[in-house]
Structure 1
């Protein structure tokens, strides 16, 4: 079937080779089309492509709105919940005995690794899976997922990326030593309570060190709240003294925390969160790590609806490689390039 590129969905399969107007081969027949491939078609100004017929499937409205592959959610959701339940068991074990077992960590986290590649739309994936329940456990699972993705985007080999994901998965294990009253307090923490919360980095380091010895996961548990400018905790470590993987997990940690709905916090708009990360990259977070994360997250917004500051509703059809927050947007029959229309900005992403 012949289709305009703006109507492509994740998972569509090219039925013929795609060439641009200069005869340059862009994508091969049989290519599975996701955000990066669709973006490539836009960049080469290819308007129409032939795709294989789509299977006739009953798709929920929620799945259609999110742009997710309809085959994805029923498979990933129970896996995700099982990993959350597994993390809860690790958390309780650490609380009771002060130790965890490495085999349990691998066994709990590996099912997510095995299924990560099923869905490349990280933005929709996390939002669809995200709930207000079990924030502490869910946050750790998300940070593990994001740390794994970010490690691969930074060029780490698969085996190392998995280890980095596991370190992200365990980064908050020290919170098992903090009372639930403080962890789930529905309001601002007092200065004394905040000082107690900060100790989770020290507790986590000790638990992992006692369990596995000095390790990557122990270092990350200790350093994930340190900042490049030295304003973090617990030791005010800064700059190049921070372990590279601690910088990865710090980015994943901030992103997950900001997109999550908690007792005292509503979920923030997705582009706002990425803009906040970008702002933090100039002093608190490592710039290269943060910009790599943003660069790979932004294409996930292709195909999603947005509201402009003008009140107009449109669809993102192409993202810019350097001006992350100024995409090309289709509003009805016209196109608005925000890199040219500097007076306009995206107000919010509509999901």
Structure 2
């Protein structure tokens, strides 16, 4: 069946070998089409391809989208509640049960490991009201993916995820009126809040034996140019786990609404993180985050500043944060249409 490339679905298979206008072979018969292949078709100016008849996606994957979403929601809520219990235990006793961290976090990691479209997960998690509990879970999950993309072993990825999950546990020692303030903090309150990194290090050291996880709590606000806190460390002095958690924490922080309820789009946040990768945040962690998230934006719906709703169809290599999008009536190359902005990204 002949199909325009904008109507392709993830997993469609080519019915025959595909050649470009110059007669050069592009893709082989039977190739499974995903975001990368669709981007290749755009670059080759190929509009239509022949695909094999589609089969029911639930037969291929054994679990439909609503089923996955239900499991995701259930595990997300349980893991957030688990962190709340850990946080309250640290608040009342000064330490927590290490086994509870494993019991609450591991099932969530197993669920998200089935879902490689991390952008959809970030959009999904960002729909909830942000508080210290779901913020910590989001940082833990994104830290897991960054470690995976950096080539860490499975166990190391789990450990990095724990470090992200627990990075703010020291806030349990910060007065509630400071950590829950919705208005800007004064200088004295800022000094007190910054102590949460040292508090977190102490709580984790008293609760578990992994020094790396404790260092991530201590150092996740350090910056490679020495501008961070609490010790003003430079690049080589910051533990690799802390470098990863710092990137994940900065990303999740930027996706949260400001005091007026306004939120940056995920693409805008990713661009800001990318810029921080030049001397402030760890370059390798930032690069793998950018490189692995950008293809996931293809196929996502966006709202444009001109009022139209469109779909991202290609990430432009010359300006990766201003992609090619298709609305109902038009294609817009945002790398050249500089007067149009993406104001929201959604599923």
TM (norm. structure 2) is 0.86
Residues in 1 aligned to 2:221 and 2:81: alpha-carbon distance in whole angstroms: 25
Match of 2:25 in 1: 23
After superposition, give the CA deviation of every residue in 1:221-251 in whole Å (9 maximum; x if it has no partner). Answer: 0110001111111111111211122111111
After superposition, give the CA deviation of every residue in 1:195-241 in whole Å (9 maximum; x if it has no partner). Answer: 11111100110111112235211010011000111111111111121
Match of 1:326 in 2: 322
**C-alpha spacing 1:270/1:91, structure 2 compared with 1 (3 Å):** same
Q: Secondary structure at the match of 1:72?
A: helix
**How far apart are residue 334 of structure 1 and its match?**
4.8
Match of 2:342 in 1: 347
Match of 2:3 in 1: 3
Q: Is the 8 A contact 2:14 2:29 kept in 1?
A: no
After superposition, give the CA deviation of every residue in 1:52-98 in whole Å (9 maximum; x if it has no partner). Answer: 535499xxxxxxxxxx9444311211111111011111111111222
Match of 2:132 in 1: 136
Q: Is the 8 A contact 1:174 1:203 kept in 2?
A: yes
Q: Is the 8 A contact 2:18 2:49 kept in 1?
A: no
**How far apart are residue 149 of structure 1 and its match?**
0.8
1:297 equivalent among 290, 293, 300: 293
**C-alpha spacing 1:45/1:54, structure 2 compared with 1 (3 Å):** farther
**How far apart are residue 129 of structure 1 and its match?**
2.9
Residues in 2 aligned to 1:183 and 1:45: alpha-carbon distance in whole angstroms: 53
After superposition, give the CA deviation of every residue in 1:284-341 in whole Å (9 maximum; x if it has no partner). Answer: 21223212212211222212333555665532101134632122223445544344x2
Aligned ranges 1:84-95 → 2 under 5 Å: 84-95=80-91
Match of 2:268 in 1: 272
CA RMSD of superposed structures (Å): 2.8
Q: Is the 8 A contact 2:216 2:242 kept in 1?
A: yes
**How far apart are residue 267 of structure 1 and its match?**
2.3
**C-alpha spacing 1:191/1:205, structure 2 compared with 1 (3 Å):** same
The runs of 5 or more residues in structure 1 that have no matched partner are: 58-67
**C-alpha spacing 1:80/1:45, structure 2 compared with 1 (3 Å):** farther
Residues in 1 aligned to 2:7 and 2:278: alpha-carbon distance in whole angstroms: 37
Residues in 1 aligned to 2:77 and 2:44: alpha-carbon distance in whole angstroms: 40
**How far apart are residue 19 of structure 1 and its match?**
3.8
**How far apart are residue 7 of structure 1 and its match?**
2.1
Aligned ranges 1:152-163 → 2 under 5 Å: 152-163=148-159
Match of 1:206 in 2: 202
1:188 equivalent among 163, 184, 187: 184
Residues in 1 aligned to 2:226 and 2:151: alpha-carbon distance in whole angstroms: 27
**C-alpha spacing 1:171/1:6, structure 2 compared with 1 (3 Å):** same
Match of 1:255 in 2: 251
Residues in 2 aligned to 1:90 and 1:139: alpha-carbon distance in whole angstroms: 14
Match of 2:169 in 1: 173
Residues in 1 aligned to 2:225 and 2:233: alpha-carbon distance in whole angstroms: 8
TM (norm. structure 1) is 0.85
Match of 2:61 in 1: none
**How far apart are residue 138 of structure 1 and its match?**
0.1
The runs of 5 or more residues in structure 2 that have no matched partner are: 59-63
Q: Is the 8 A contact 1:318 1:327 kept in 2?
A: yes
Q: Is the 8 A contact 2:304 2:344 kept in 1?
A: no
Match of 1:14 in 2: 13
Q: Is the 8 A contact 1:69 1:119 kept in 2?
A: no
